[in-house]
């Protein structure tokens, strides 16, 4: 079993335990894992709509030199695309790491054709060179850090990647 498959299995069990605990305590159901449900194309399409909306906001921020926030928004464009794919295959997620593992697993299983680069940009990396262009790392740096100036080539790369990932996600969600 692959690392992604193991992680998906763990995320499913995690959500199940957390939801059982909420029920036992009479709390609103909440989880930080994955839940398997019926495929939901409507929600998948709404996540794509949100990704496209966020892309427009990223472009506006770029045009007005709010590059630090363009990075942040770019992360959420990608993440909503991942949630769209998850919904199409009948999953809800309460955890970014679980969502990334699910997309990796769906790719490994041959259920989606998805560029590895799209998955890789949301993974944490150990070396400086690996971290440099990963939207997840940049998002944390520019959201929690004090720097507001970002290299324009990084911003353009994230905008371009956002457009490409939305197109790839539409191909997956809208295929029969």
Backbone torsion region of residue 76, taken as left when φ is above 0, otherwise alpha when ψ lies between -120 and 50, otherwise beta: alpha
Q: Using one digit for the tens of pLDDT, what is the confidence trace for 44-84?
A: 999 999 999 999 999 999 999 998 888 889 989 999 999 99
- Whether 155 has a pLDDT exceeding 50, the answer reads yes
Is the pLDDT reported for residue 131 higher than 50?
A: no
Which uninterrupted H or E stretch holds 20? helix 3-25
Q: What percent of the chain has pLDDT over 90?
A: 65
Domain 3-174 has CATH 1.20.120.330: yes
Distance CA 112, CA 87 (A): 13
- Under a CB-based contact definition with an 8 Å cutoff, are residues 73 and 57 in contact? yes
Report the chain's C-alpha Rg in angstroms: 17
Where is average pLDDT lowest: 13-22, 52-61, 87-96, 143-152?
Answer: 143-152
């Amino acid at each position: 079993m692959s690392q992604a498959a193991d992680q998906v299995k763990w995320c499913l069990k995690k959500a199940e335990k957390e939801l059982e605990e909420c029920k036992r305590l009479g709390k609103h159901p909440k989880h930080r894992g994955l839940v398997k449900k019926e495929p939901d194309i409507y929600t998948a399409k709404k996540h794509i709509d949100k990704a496209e909306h966020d892309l427009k906001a990223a472009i506006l921020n770029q045009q007005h030199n709010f590059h630090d926030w363009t990075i942040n928004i770019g992360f959420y464009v990608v993440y909503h695309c991942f949630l769209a794919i998850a919904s199409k295959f009948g999953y809800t997620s309460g955890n970014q790491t679980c969502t990334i593992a699910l997309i990796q697993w769906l790719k490994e299983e041959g259920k989606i054709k998805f560029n590895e680069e799209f998955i890789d940009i949301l993974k944490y990396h150990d070396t400086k060179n690996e971290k440099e262009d990963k939207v997840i790392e940049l998002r944390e740096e520019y959201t929690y850090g004090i720097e507001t100036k970002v290299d324009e080539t990084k911003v353009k790369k994230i905008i371009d990647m956002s457009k490409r990932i939305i197109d790839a996600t539409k191909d997956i969600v809208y295929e029969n």
